[in-house]
Amino acid sequence: MKITALAIGSRGDVQPFVELGKEMVKRGHSYKIAAFPRFREYVESSGLEFAPVNGDGDMMMRVLLSECKSGLAYLDGMKQLYRKDPEMMQQAYEACKGADAALYILLGGFVRHACEVLKIPCVRVFFYPFDKTNMFTIQKPEMRRNTPFVGFTYTTNELGMNMVTKSLLNGRRKEHGLKKWSLFSDYRKLNGDKVLTLYAYSEHIVPREPKWGDNIHVTGYWQGEETVDYQPNEKLSKFLAAGEKPIYIGFGSIVFAGMEKVQRAIYEAVKETGIRVIMQSGWMKWQTDDDENICYVDFVPHDWLFKQVKGVVHHGGAGTTAAGLRTGCPTFVMSFGGDQYFWGLQIAERGLGPKPVNIHSGKWTKDEIKKGLTELQNGKYSDNARMIGEILRAENGCKNAADVLENYFKR
Q: For the whole model, what pTM was predicted?
A: 0.91
pLDDT score recorded for residue 228: 61
In a domain, 210, yes or no: yes
Instruction: Based on the fold, state whether residues 239 and 142 are members of the same structural domain.
Output: no
Q: How far apart are CA 313 and CA 251, in angstroms?
A: 8
Instruction: Based on the fold, state whether residues 248 and 345 are members of the same structural domain.
Output: yes
The more confident residue out of 219 and 73 is 219
Q: How far apart are CA 11 and CA 106, in angstroms?
A: 15
Instruction: Based on the fold, state whether residues 342 and 405 are members of the same structural domain.
Output: no
Q: How far apart are CA 384 and CA 372, in angstroms?
A: 16
Q: How far apart are CA 290 and CA 94, in angstroms?
A: 50
Mean pLDDT for the stretch of residues 367-376: 97
- 396 Cβ neighbours under 8 A, 6+ residues apart: 220
CATH number at residue 272: 3.40.50.2000
How many CA atoms lie less than 13 Å away from 385 in the CB half-sphere? 28
In a domain, 228, yes or no: no
DSSP-based three-state secondary structure for 153:
helix
In a domain, 168, yes or no: yes
Instruction: Based on the fold, state whether residues 252 and 190 are members of the same structural domain.
Output: no
Q: What is the DSSP letter of 4?
A: E
Instruction: Based on the fold, state whether residues 12 and 113 are members of the same structural domain.
Output: yes
In a domain, 206, yes or no: yes
Instruction: Based on the fold, state whether residues 200 and 278 are members of the same structural domain.
Output: no
Of 37-51, 116-130, 131-145, 327-341, give the lowest mean pLDDT range.
131-145
Instruction: Based on the fold, state whether residues 246 and 367 are members of the same structural domain.
Output: yes
CA angle 280, 263, 338 (to 5 degrees): 80
Q: Residue 142: is it exposed, middle or buried by C-beta count within 10 angstroms (0-12/13-18/19+)? A: exposed
Average pLDDT over the chain reads: 91
Q: Residue 197: is it exposed, middle or buried by C-beta count within 10 angstroms (0-12/13-18/19+)? A: buried
Q: How far apart are CA 172 and CA 116, in angstroms?
A: 12
pLDDT score recorded for residue 118: 95
Parent domain of 401:
2-221+395-409
Instruction: Based on the fold, state whether residues 328 and 371 are members of the same structural domain.
Output: yes
Q: Is the pLDDT of residue 226 over 80?
A: no
Number of domains in the chain: 2
In a domain, 226, yes or no: no
Instruction: Based on the fold, state whether residues 99 and 181 are members of the same structural domain.
Output: yes
Instruction: Based on the fold, state whether residues 314 and 183 are members of the same structural domain.
Output: no
In a domain, 229, yes or no: no
Q: List the one residue out of 286, 275, 266 whose CA is nearest residue 247.
A: 275
How many CA atoms lie less than 13 Å away from 157 in the CB half-sphere? 17
Instruction: Based on the fold, state whether residues 12 and 77 are members of the same structural domain.
Output: yes
DSSP output for 283-311:
SS-------TTEEEES---HHHHGGG-SE
pLDDT score recorded for residue 59: 77
241-267 tens-digit pLDDT: 999 999 999 998 887 888 889 999 999
Instruction: Based on the fold, state whether residues 215 and 247 are members of the same structural domain.
Output: no
Residue 34, beta-bridge partner list: 6, 51
